Amino acid sequence: MAKLILFIAEQWILVAATLTCVFMLLYHESRRAGKTLSPQQVANLMNKENAVLIDLRDSNEFTAGHVIDAINIPHAKFAASVSDLEKYRERPIVLTCKMGQHSSGAGKTLASKGFSPIYRMSGGMMDWQGQQFPVVKGRG
């Protein structure tokens, strides 16, 4: 314990920088829109509450394999396409992409437009396929 106190006293700049980084990470994570769900929780939500799955990958990736009944809106066109989702405003919305990196930004966009509830699939379609959940090939 004495060594820890001595380290903190001698390396206070390093400790302060570390605490600042931790605070910034926690702040950033708290601002992400939508609760994160596992692929199993997403499947349950789709089956029990008629959730809408929005796939944010590009068209080629979507065509190569996607969740049945998923709606493809590429991440680059998402902000301009939010108005197309008005008919789903009262249903739970789940956002997914390839690995989960784009769904947070899309969730923030939907939250700012008053959509709720919004969820994000952890691990994206890589995790969905990794857990061997079914996918459909083609546009349909």
Q: How many residues does the chain have?
A: 140
**What pLDDT score does 1 carry?**
86
> For 6-15, 31-40, 112-121, which range has the lowest pLDDT when averaged over its residues?
31-40
Q: What is the DSSP letter of 49?
A: H
Q: What residue type is assigned to position 74 of the chain?
A: P
Residue 29: pLDDT over 70: no
> Number of C-alpha atoms within 13 angstroms, CB side, residue 110?
30
Distance CA 99, CA 36 (A): 13
Bridge partners of 71, per DSSP, are 54
Residue 73 · residue 54 · CB < 8 Å: yes
Residue for token pair 């061997």 = 132
**What pLDDT score does 97 carry?**
92
Q: Which of 52, 33, 32 is nearest to 42 (CA)?
A: 52
Please state which CATH class domain 34-130 belongs to: alpha beta
Which has the higher per-residue pLDDT, 27 or 127?
A: 127
**What pLDDT score does 140 carry?**
61
| 15 — pLDDT class (breaks 50, 70, 90) | very high
| 138 — pLDDT class (breaks 50, 70, 90) | confident
Q: Which residues are catalytic?
A: 97
Q: Which of 106, 102, 110 is nearest to 126 (CA)?
A: 102
**What pLDDT score does 13 carry?**
95
| 26 — pLDDT class (breaks 50, 70, 90) | confident
**What pLDDT score does 31 carry?**
61
Residue 78 · residue 62 · CB < 8 Å: no
Summarised one tens digit per residue, pLDDT across range 55-101 is 999 999 999 999 999 999 999 999 899 999 999 988 999 999 998 77
**What pLDDT score does 102 carry?**
82
